[in-house]
Structure 1
């Protein structure tokens, strides 16, 4: 059963296909060309927020959007601008009960990392509910995330066109390669094969996984198990079976990787811009006064902001070296630290004994939610020690904060190589096999990027990138071009069906 926040598109409205197919996109003001688009993100806030940003940009063009997620996740999303509330409909689909999945666990932030597989199984359980939604409302398009590899099959039954919207950059998708049914290229099976460029990449690039990164991915279930489908199969099947690929990227940033995607998947690939986060970033900001006053008391550009997103959690050994490295650096720091993931996480981590007392006058450790956008916007912040999640990268560029990189999961290794290659950030040196690092390497890295002359290249480069990542006109043009394609290539079976 679905629960609606507001009324979905008026069913009496007939579709008309835009006739303007010239290179210049047609005007979005033509009411007869308006679309009904469904957004179906994965249950992680690093995915839901970019989906929501694209939703807002689509609605600004006058199209109706149904944003589908679980009830608790929708309630936790940032509030919409009032002007868009009539065009964006939040559709609450309760997750089915799954063994080993706690009742209130509806996002990756609510679970230990090893239990996220149960959340994927619950999300797969929405297949029937999504089919009923498509049948009743006949939207024009559905933009779905990597995990929902089954959406193209379901959508095709009701004449709904599909776009796989990747919140990961083109380099990550291109490096992973073609779909599961492709027989042109030999399949990679050993971790070491992912530490070199694949055969379908015809240019020289340092963008590969480090061995410790791909070993972690393999240990997380590249082959899947009897209870779940692997992430790699989900992602590559989504790219293979969709009608069109939409990628959180821009052609000026990674043109060669966008070309790789078109070649290996043999379909149109649309960069939709970097989707910088807009507006207030949610949460209960009860601690604003205390942290704001502390940041106000620090010198401009001196503070290291440390945060690793909603999914990554350092091991106890990694946490100890991080803490002692920050202490050793001598720089002030603001650390958003997740000691556990969800109520069922029994593997909590702790700061070294005496650390908080020794750093009390120059460091803040926040173990609850913190407003990342507001912190990054503060003049005292001079660098961002990050996991290389792309939403965090884009937010750092919004506020011109150079990056210190420490990867943990999934696409973060590829993101880090791209950032390194373009001199936007500096990776903390690690053992290539096991990924270990030392307090000295942490201290040296943050001092380099934030305070030393040798790190000026990273501080300057991040400022250069702001125009590319955050220019509103450029972002608008990417969305306009994408929507033009959706308008002129909607499924003809749906062209006369009401939405």
Structure 2
């Protein structure tokens, strides 16, 4: 076999969508590649990088990972833009117009470095301009879809859903109608479980067209990476193999990284990938609570609640009589509706007795804490994967994108929680919290424990994800021979 030039190192340029939920798993992959001896250039937006500098010691992180470096490019939006809630979609179009030429220039600049020109690009599946840039510069590209396999498969059938007349649909009419035209998922999905874009009223909507074009462009990549594991989604993963020459399922990445560091002689190098300062005081509060007695509540980094919705959750949590730890991050309340409402005394007193609120929490540590008995989540894939890896049952309150598919998988396919989509009232919340921690707990926890076991096994030496990551690393090294 031809031997690689010892002066040239395999070098992956990694480009996430500039949002925490996309950046976080791709940063973990970057760490694992560096720990395997590869060089990595991780390309954030200027906005994300500035926030990362405030929430972590970037210099110390890079110094412990030889071959790793950050670069940043403009995302095309002004610094004061919230990049969350209903305005998060603005990133789709600004990155296409502004970031694309900057990324191409970066690839050309990196290519002039004698010791480590780019071997490949690993780009978020929602950043298809990277496919164009990589092809123009002559660098192989791998796509990383930060959704699970099931949702990724659904997105590849949006055009078919349109042809079959399943979408668009108006309002909330016939939302429990079964969707039967997606192979392998015929008995799982209803209208209300389809990705959020399927609720758009017009096919010509720019956001719908964006997702259609991005998903189509993914198939031009040489391979697909998904943060999932074979044992969880094997049938759908095999179907994705009909669209891509190679599919690497290498999750759960956060569990993989923890396992690697635990068995390594080198010091911990992991980043939590958080853009907010974590309030660790909640861990001391959890230490004082009984086992499996607390429900953890967090709606991730992008979902925003109206004031009325917040009040419904607050009433439901207090009236459930259960202990709760609630993350209310900055900018998580829209504040347009119900702004005149103020918490009544019973809510304040109930929270004082049973609740604890923080702006942001160390979620993986929280979910792994013995006091946690359940998780109310927006059903983003990172949060879903972290909860199933920890064996924590969930109540799903999905709002957009892949969250609606994830919540259906949780409740009906994997049976590790309850789905509360399309409703937000205090009585339902109260009942579901009690069901999760009492009435339905035994049947749910049995499934949750089994899936958590499979997740742990997948990242151990010889496990499915362990082997797939080794294949990915070896394939990148082989690319270095032919570049």
Q: TM-score w.r.t. structure 1 length?
A: 0.79
1:51 corresponds in structure 2 to: 26
1:207-218 matched pairs, under 5 angstroms? 207-210=189-192, 217-218=198-199
1:303 corresponds in structure 2 to: 294
- Contact kept, 8 Å, 1:39 with 1:55, in 2: the verdict is yes
> Following the alignment from structure 2 to structure 1, what is the Cα–Cα distance between the partners of residues 432 and 26?
33
Report the Cα offset of residue 230 of structure 1. Answer: 3.8
1:102 corresponds in structure 2 to: 78
1:417 aligns with 2:393: no
Moved more, 301-310 or 478-487: 478-487
Residue of structure 1 aligned with 2:224, choices 235, 239, 245: 245
Residue of structure 2 aligned with 1:357, choices 346, 349, 354: 349
- Contact kept, 8 Å, 1:45 with 1:310, in 2: the verdict is yes
1:111 aligns with 2:83: yes
2:362 corresponds in structure 1 to: 371
1:269 corresponds in structure 2 to: 247
In structure 2, runs of 5+ residues without a counterpart are 112-117, 259-269
Deviations along 1:113-136, whole A, 9 cap, x unmatched? 222233223322111111112223
1:465 aligns with 2:467: no
- Contact kept, 8 Å, 1:152 with 1:242, in 2: the verdict is yes
- Contact kept, 8 Å, 1:141 with 1:162, in 2: the verdict is yes
Report the Cα offset of residue 156 of structure 1. Answer: 0.8
- Contact kept, 8 Å, 1:178 with 1:236, in 2: the verdict is no
Residue of structure 2 aligned with 1:70, choices 45, 53, 57: 45
- Contact kept, 8 Å, 1:329 with 1:444, in 2: the verdict is yes
Report the Cα offset of residue 439 of structure 1. Answer: 1.6
Return the structure number with greater helix share: 2
- Contact kept, 8 Å, 2:394 with 2:436, in 1: the verdict is yes
Distance 1:449 1:144, change over 3 A: same
- Which structure ranks higher in relative contact order (CA pairs < 8 Å, sequence separation ≥ 6)? 1
> Following the alignment from structure 1 to structure 2, what is the Cα–Cα distance between the partners of residues 235 and 363?
42
1:36 aligns with 2:11: yes
- Contact kept, 8 Å, 2:92 with 2:210, in 1: the verdict is no
Q: TM-score w.r.t. structure 2 length?
A: 0.81
> Following the alignment from structure 1 to structure 2, what is the Cα–Cα distance between the partners of residues 40 and 229?
22
> Following the alignment from structure 1 to structure 2, what is the Cα–Cα distance between the partners of residues 294 and 221?
48
- Contact kept, 8 Å, 1:41 with 1:47, in 2: the verdict is yes
- Contact kept, 8 Å, 1:276 with 1:398, in 2: the verdict is no
Residue of structure 1 aligned with 2:430, choices 443, 446, 450: 443
1:396 aligns with 2:387: yes
2:442 corresponds in structure 1 to: 456
1:5 corresponds in structure 2 to: none
Report the Cα offset of residue 382 of structure 1. Answer: 1.0
> Following the alignment from structure 1 to structure 2, what is the Cα–Cα distance between the partners of residues 276 and 441?
32
> Following the alignment from structure 1 to structure 2, what is the Cα–Cα distance between the partners of residues 142 and 75?
23
In structure 1, runs of 5+ residues without a counterpart are 1-14, 19-29
1:92 corresponds in structure 2 to: 72
> Following the alignment from structure 1 to structure 2, what is the Cα–Cα distance between the partners of residues 455 and 285?
33
Deviations along 1:134-190, whole A, 9 cap, x unmatched? 22323121111132122212211111111110110110011222597x99x768642
- Contact kept, 8 Å, 2:415 with 2:447, in 1: the verdict is yes
- Contact kept, 8 Å, 1:69 with 1:91, in 2: the verdict is yes
Aligned residue pairs, count: 445
Report the Cα offset of residue 276 of structure 1. Answer: 1.8
Distance 1:217 1:324, change over 3 A: farther
Report the Cα offset of residue 312 of structure 1. Answer: 1.1
- Contact kept, 8 Å, 1:300 with 1:382, in 2: the verdict is yes
Distance 1:223 1:261, change over 3 A: farther
Output the aligned Cα RMSD. 3.4
1:151 corresponds in structure 2 to: 130
Deviations along 1:193-213, whole A, 9 cap, x unmatched? 9964453505643144516x6
> Following the alignment from structure 2 to structure 1, what is the Cα–Cα distance between the partners of residues 175 and 318?
38
Report the Cα offset of residue 332 of structure 1. Answer: 0.7
